[in-house]
Structure formats: structure tokens, C-alpha cells
């Protein structure tokens, strides 16, 4: 009986040791980055499409306004990626991206959970801040919620979200596995997400990220069809990981799990050759 008790205690101790340490600086950076991205991005949605605001008359063409929205929304994410906080955490600001790196064996489970929780909290905070700034104008566009486009079947909207997330995550993996391309990852994501928003947003809202959808949905209190955005983007991300493994066939692998890799910043990721694995405090 004593041996069994000791064995159980050892197992419990090993369990907690395995889940330490928690990297609060990185989680906080993801929270701040996601808040910034959601606040700026949703503000762009309101400014470009809110009823009673001048953009509707200045630029009557909705397609052009959508392009501007995509440039600002994704541009804020790229800007965060190259910031000091983005260089620390990797600038994922997307649950789909974090899930993909974890599924590929590049993140510890507790860090993936920490990132995703931080991203959801950050998205809610960013949406709350946006509503407090824009007020009734935000309400005129459902606070920037992602909703299926009129006239599109749900199955088509679902597949569209799967495809665009698949395309984004696969593109990120293909860039961060190449020494020459990895430094250009923020620029690539900026342009690619802009194109996705421009072309695909009328179909599904171009979520690409469960946290991006849950933030404004939580603030609005409207959950219609939001299950779709919690399932389709993660599925697209996992399919992208599978496709990357199929294409690379073990010849190439992810060199960094950061959107913009800076060697003098610490890395909490695992099994990546392009990162500094030291867990010392980063030196900006």
C-alpha cells in the first residue's frame, strides 16, 4: 500500500513538473497583440461600413472599402509581429496558427493552452474597447461579427472557412521552413489575408481564427452560426499541417514558430532549429 501511495505521489509530481514553467510573458504578449489586432481590425470594419460614417459616401464601391478593411485588419497583425512583444511571443494572435504549431509538435501543451486562452481574452477585450469607442456605429455592423453571407448555404460557408484557413496556415509553414523566406512572413500574411478578406469575406466574413469571431460575438451576445467559426478554421489549420508534412516528406521542417524570428529573443518552442532555446529573459 505504501509503495502504491509513493508511486501515485511520484506520478502526480512528475505531472506538475512536466507542466512547468508557464511562460506568462509570452501569454501576456499574445493577449495584448490579439487585443490590438481585434481593436484596429474591427475599427476598420466600422469605419468602412458603419452606417452614418463618411466612407459610405466617399467610396461607394463596397469592394474597394473591403480591400481597405483587409489592408488595415491584417496590417495590424503584421505590425504586431515585428514589434518587441510580437518577437517575444511569435505574434500568432490566432488560435488556428497556435493549434497548427502544437499539432506539428512545436509547442508544449501548456503553452498552446496559454496562448489560446490569452487570444480569446484579448479578442474579447479588443472588441469591448472597439464598441466603447465607436458606440452606435459599431452596432450598425453587429460589432464586426463574422456571419455567413446572404444567399450562401452553411455547408459552403463552412468549406470556405476551412479552405482559406488551410491556405493561410500552409503558407505560413512554407515560409517559416525556409531561411530565405522566413523573414518575409509578416509581409506575406499581410498581403494574403488582405486578399482573403477582399475575395472571401462576402461569403463567410473571413474569420480564419475562432478568437476573432468569439470576441465580437461575446460582446454582442449573438451566437447565431458561431459554432461554424469554432470548428472550420481549426479544421483548416490541421489539414494544412497534414499537407505540409506530405509536401515536405521529412526533407524540410519548421525553423521557427514565430511570424518574425529574432534570434536575440527567447523561444519557448520546441524542436525548431532556427530558434534560440535559452529561456533567459529576452534582450530587446
Query: Residue ranges per domain, the chain?
Result: 23-248
C-alpha cell at 103: 499539432
Whole-angstrom Cα distance, residue 38 to residue 121? 11
Whole-angstrom Cα distance, residue 140 to residue 246? 45
pLDDT at residue 251, rounded to an integer: 84
**Length of the chain counted residue by residue:** 284
Helix-helix angle 154-176:185-204, to 10 degrees: 180
pLDDT at residue 274, rounded to an integer: 58
- Which residue reads 463618411 in cell numbers? 54
Which CATH code is given to the segment(s) 23-248? 1.20.1080.10
pLDDT lower than 50: segments of the chain? 16-17, 275-284
- Which residue reads 497534414 in cell numbers? 242
Amino acid at each position: 500500500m505504501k509503495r502504491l501511495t509513493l508511486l501515485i505521489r511520484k506520478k502526480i509530481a512528475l505531472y506538475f513538473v512536466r507542466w512547468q514553467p508557464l511562460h506568462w510573458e509570452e501569454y501576456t504578449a499574445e493577449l495584448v497583440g490579439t487585443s490590438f489586432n481585434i481593436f484596429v481590425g474591427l475599427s476598420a470594419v466600422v469605419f468602412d461600413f458603419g452606417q452614418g460614417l463618411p466612407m459610405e459616401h466617399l467610396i461607394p464601391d463596397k469592394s474597394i472599402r473591403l480591400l481597405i478593411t483587409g489592408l488595415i485588419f491584417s496590417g495590424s497583425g503584421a505590425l504586431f509581429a515585428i514589434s518587441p512583444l510580437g518577437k517575444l511571443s511569435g505574434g500568432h494572435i490566432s488560435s488556428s496558427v497556435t493549434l497548427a504549431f502544437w499539432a506539428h509538435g512545436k509547442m508544449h501543451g501548456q503553452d498552446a493552452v496559454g496562448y489560446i486562452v490569452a487570444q480569446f481574452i484579448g479578442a474579447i477585450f479588443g472588441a469591448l474597447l472597439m464598441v466603447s469607442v465607436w458606440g452606435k456605429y459599431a452596432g450598425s455592423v453587429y460589432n464586426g461579427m463574422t456571419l455567413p453571407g446572404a444567399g450562401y448555404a452553411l455547408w459552403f460557408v463552412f468549406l470556405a472557412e476551412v479552405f482559406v484557413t488551410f491556405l493561410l496556415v500552409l503558407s505560413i509553414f512554407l515560409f517559416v521552413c525556409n531561411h530565405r523566406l522566413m523573414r518575409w512572413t509578416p509581409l506575406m500574411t499581410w498581403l494574403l489575408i488582405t486578399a482573403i478578406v477582399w475575395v472571401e469575406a462576402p461569403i463567410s466574413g473571413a474569420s480564419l481564427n475562432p478568437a476573432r469571431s468569439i470576441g465580437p460575438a461575446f460582446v454582442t451576445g449573438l451566437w447565431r452560426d458561431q459554432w461554424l467559426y469554432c470548428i472550420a478554421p481549426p479544421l483548416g489549420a490541421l489539414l494544412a499541417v497534414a499537407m505540409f508534412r506530405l509536401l515536405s516528406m521529412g526533407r524540410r521542417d519548421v525553423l521557427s514558430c514565430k511570424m518574425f524570428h529574432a534570434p536575440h529573443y527567447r523561444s519557448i518552442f520546441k524542436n525548431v532549429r532556427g530558434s534560440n532555446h535559452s529561456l533567459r529573459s529576452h534582450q530587446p
